[in-house]
Amino acid sequence: MSVEVERKFTCNPDTLKTLEKIGVCVGHHQFHDQYFDTPTFDLTLRNMWLRKRKGCWELKCPTTQSVNSTQNSSGQQSKAGLCTQYNELTNLHEIHQRVIEVINAVCEERGTKPIQLDLEESWVQNANLVCFAEFTTIRQSFALKGEGVNVDLDQADFGYQVGEVEVVIPKGGDVQAALEKIENIAKKLGLNPHERVLGKMDVYLKKNNPEHLATLKRMHVL
């Protein structure tokens, strides 16, 4: 299991010029994402994001220490508060077990019968999971030598463009060091030190499922 620490940013021509100077473009990619949840949003309301990309399943779930709402004493978002942290699972068995745990915990809360699933192709249907978001992204990726930092520029097919500064560390790794690396790159790129930039999912749901977005905001997930 790895932990993704990332900060989103708005990319302008000056930012791109700086990025091309301090980093190396390592490729252009296009990928199609499908996100799944139950009709009552049992996963996403717990900040868990199950997606299928290039035929492979991935699950992003919150770490024990969230940085999404960190604020300083003056009420402004701190540097950490501009970043997100997620554990990323890519092993299908681990993903399967985590999804079952969440759904069965919800069943217990509601007094309904727990589910029993196996790893057959029909497990998504049996767990009553449906695709609630689907879009294609064109990504330009940069590597920053000696920094251990990746920068991605994403253009989604629903008209939204966003940049991401990302550091991936092993579970239990030094999150503070990752945050400092991201802050260092943010300064080099001239990013607004207080601007929180929306992710692709925020904008997609605003356009396509505002009720889902409103529920997530009400529960302080997004």
Model confidence pLDDT, tens digit, residues 6-25: 999 999 899 999 999 999 99
- Structure tokens of 13? 């021509």
Model confidence pLDDT, tens digit, residues 173-193: 999 999 999 999 999 999 988
Per domain, the residue ranges of the chain are 7-218
Q: Which CATH number fits domain 7-218: 3.30.43.10, 2.40.320.10, 3.30.2000.10, 3.40.50.2020?
A: 2.40.320.10
pTM: 0.89
Model confidence pLDDT, tens digit, residues 25-55: 999 999 999 999 999 999 999 999 999 999 9
